[in-house]
């Protein structure tokens, strides 16, 4: 029996990445408030991803629901979520200027049964170039940082703030695709189920 796949996220980046793969899914925002415990950032992100996926599963018990949560952790262990306003966005960016931080994205795959769950997280280290408060304000004025953990997006204008990364690029975007595939495979769901019919034909010659 084929499953319905639901992305429990309103993130345009995650939707765009899945659509780019040709994935079959619909989107439903969980409404879960993101609250993180700084004692174990990865565990906190995984708990949030599970909460989001479980909330959507409640209304769609026959579906496979994918939840995700992205956080930014500074070198001194502080968790940075999404900015509350433009002033907060500038202050977050100034904390990142000229230093390294870690981006953690957790993915949870739950359903169709309540006890069928898989969750894990990916970490990527990011080095930011030194930039001024004027640079930060100019970037914030573009509107790009306002719905992003750490107040920047690596795939658009925020790329001009990033010197280098160590790890998965898509994790910094907010959706480590190889991790998603691994979790689905752990649940016994192969790529043909969520990416559509396999058009590859082997050459037997």
Q: Is residue 8 a contact partner of residue 28, using CB atoms and an 8 Å limit?
A: yes
Token pair for 95: 């904390």
Instruction: Produce one character per residue of 134-143: b if its CB has 16 or more CB atoms within 10 Å, e if not.
Output: ebbeebbeee
Whether 69 is a known active-site residue: answer yes
Q: Pick the closest to residue 26 from 44, 4, 48, 41 (CA basis).
A: 4
Sign of CA dihedral 112, 40, 123, 97: positive
Q: Which is catalytic among the residues 59, 69, 76, 198? A: 69
Q: What is the DSSP string of 158-189?
A: GGGGEEEEES-HHHHHT--HHHHHHHHHHTT-
CA 39 to the chain's CA centroid: 20
- CA pair distance 91, 166, nearest whole angstrom: 24
Residues designated catalytic: 69
């Amino acid at each position: 029996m084929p499953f319905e796949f639901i992305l429990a996220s309103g993130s345009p980046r995650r939707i765009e990445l899945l659509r780019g793969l040709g994935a079959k899914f619909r989107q439903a925002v969980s409404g879960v408030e993101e609250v993180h415990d700084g004692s174990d950032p990865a565990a906190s992100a995984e708990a949030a991803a599970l909460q989001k996926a479980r909330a959507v599963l409640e209304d769609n018990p026959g579906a496979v629901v994918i939840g995700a949560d992205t956080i930014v952790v500074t070198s001194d262990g502080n968790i940075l979520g999404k900015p509350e306003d433009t002033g907060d966005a500038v202050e977050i960016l100034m904390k990142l200027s000229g230093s390294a931080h870690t981006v953690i994205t957790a993915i949870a795959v739950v359903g169709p049964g309540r006890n069928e769950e898989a969750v894990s997280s990916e970490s990527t280290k990011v080095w930011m170039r030194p930039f001024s408060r004027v640079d930060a304000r100019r970037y914030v004025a573009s509107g790009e940082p306002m719905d992003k953990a750490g107040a920047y997006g690596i795939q658009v204008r925020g790329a001009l703030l990033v010197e280098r990364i160590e790890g998965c690029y898509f994790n910094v975007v907010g959706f480590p695709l190889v991790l998603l595939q691994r979790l689905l495979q752990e649940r016994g769901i192969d790529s043909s189920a969520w990416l559509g019919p396999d058009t590859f034909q082997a050459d037997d010659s």
